[in-house]
Amino acid sequence: MKHIYLNLKRFDTPVELGGVNRLAPVAEWGRAVVTGTQEALRKYDPEKVEFVQYLPEAHLLSAVAARTPGSPVKLGSQGVYRMDTSVGGNFGAFTTNRTANIVKAMGCESTLIGHCEERNDKKGVLQEAGVTDTAAVNRILNQEVLRAQAAGLTVLYCIGETSEEQPEWEKVLGEQLDIGLQGADKSRVVIGYEPVWSIGPGKTPAGREYIQKIARFVKDRCGCDVVYGGGLKADNAAMLASIPEIDGGLIALTRFTGEIGFYPEEYLEIIGLYLGE
C-alpha cells in the first residue's frame, strides 16, 4: 500500500502574525483542510493508497466533524504523550500534554512520532538537564509509540540523520529504529525517513540513490513500509515514485515562493503527480 501523509505543523497561524495561513480563518481552518481535499481523494482505491492528515490538536474536532460518510481522509495528531490514562489508574493529570487515549477518543486513527522537530525539542530539554546519552530521545519516543499502539492508533515514526551524524548514518538510524520500535507491533508502523542534513533553504536535496539506499536499509532492519519525509513536492514526485522501496511521502507546504503556504488544490496536484494520475 502507498501512504500519503500531510503534516500541517503550525500552518494555521495567520500571515499577520508571522504564519502562512491563507486558507481560512483559524476557527475554520481544520474544516477547510478536510473539505478542500476529501471529495477529490475518493477516486483513489483505498486498498492501494491511504491519506492521513496530521493537524495541530486545536483543529482535530472540527476536522473530524467535516468528514463525510466514507471519507478517504484519515486524521491524526502530531504527537502523543509518553504516559496515558488507565481505568483504575491515572485519570488524566497530564497538563499541557495530549495522550493517545484522548486523541483516539477525538476521532483520530494515527499519530506522528519522532519528527525531526520533536527530536530536536526533546534533545534540547535533555541537554538543559545535563543528559548527554544520545539514546535517551529514542527511549522517550519508544514510550510514545507503545502508548499510541495501546490506544489503537497507527504510527508514522520518523527517523533521520543530521549533517554531523551522516558519516555514521547506519549507526544513527539503526539506533533510532531498534530503540524507538522496541516492543512495538511493526505491522502498524510506517517509517518516515527525513534526511535532516538536506532539508532547508540552501541545502542540496537528497538524491535518488541515497534515498533508495536508506529505504533498503530500513526495510532490512525492521520490515516496515518507508515513506520519504524530506518533503513530497511537485518537483520530486516523479523521482520518488520511481524508487520501488519508497511507499509514499510526507507533504507539508505546497508553495515555497510568493504566497507561501498550504493550498488544497496544490496538495491534490502533488498526489496526482506521485501516483501517476
Q: Is 194 designated active site?
A: yes
Whether 199 shows a pLDDT value over 80: the answer reads: yes
What are the angstrom distances between the C-alpha of 34 and each of 29, 59, 72, 107? Answer: 9, 11, 10, 14
Indicate if 266 belongs to the active site.
no
Q: Is residue 113 within 8 Å of residue 77, measured between CB atoms?
A: no
Q: Which of 50, 144, 161, 194 is catalytic?
A: 194
Verdict on whether the full-model pTM lies above 0.75? yes
Helices marked H in 67-207:
100-105, 116-128, 136-150, 169-180
- Give me the mean pLDDT over the 132-139 stretch: 94
**Is the Cβ–Cβ distance between 113 and 148 less than 8 Å?**
yes
Distance (Å) of CA 25 to CA 22, 28, 61, 63? 8, 5, 16, 14
The stretch 232-250 carries a mean pLDDT of: 98
The CATH number for 257's domain is 3.20.20.70
List all residues 6 or more positions away from 274 whose beta carbon is below 8 Å from its beta carbon.
4, 232, 237, 238, 240, 241, 248, 249
Best CA proximity match to 210, nearest among 229, 195, 190: 195
Average pLDDT score over the chain: 97
pLDDT(132) > 90: no
Catalytic residue (choose from 50, 59, 115, 144): 115
With 80 as the cut, is the pLDDT of residue 201 above it? Answer: no
11, 20 Cβ separation under 8 angstroms: yes
C-alpha closest to that of 75 among 141, 153, 18, 188: 153
Q: Is the pLDDT of residue 95 over 90?
A: yes
Residue 96 sits at the vertex; the CA angle it makes with 93 and 99, to the nearest 5 degrees, is 65
Share of the chain above pLDDT 90, in %: 96
For the chain, the first-to-last Cα distance in angstroms comes to: 16
pLDDT in tens, 160-169: 999 999 999 9
Q: Check whether 117 has a pLDDT greater than 80.
A: yes
> Residue 189: is its pLDDT beyond 90?
yes
Q: Rounded distance, CA 142 to CA 178, Å?
A: 9
Domain total of the chain:
1
The tally of CA atoms less than 13 A away on the side-chain side of residue 275 is: 19
Give the tens place of pLDDT for each residue, 31-80.
999 999 999 999 999 999 999 999 999 999 999 999 999 999 999 999 99
Three cell numbers at 228?
A: 520519504
The pLDDT value given to residue 192: 98
Q: What is the C-alpha separation between 158 and 205, in angstroms, rounded? A: 18
Specify the amino acid at residue 213. K
Residue range(s) defining the domain that contains residue 213: 2-275
200 pLDDT above the threshold of 90:
no
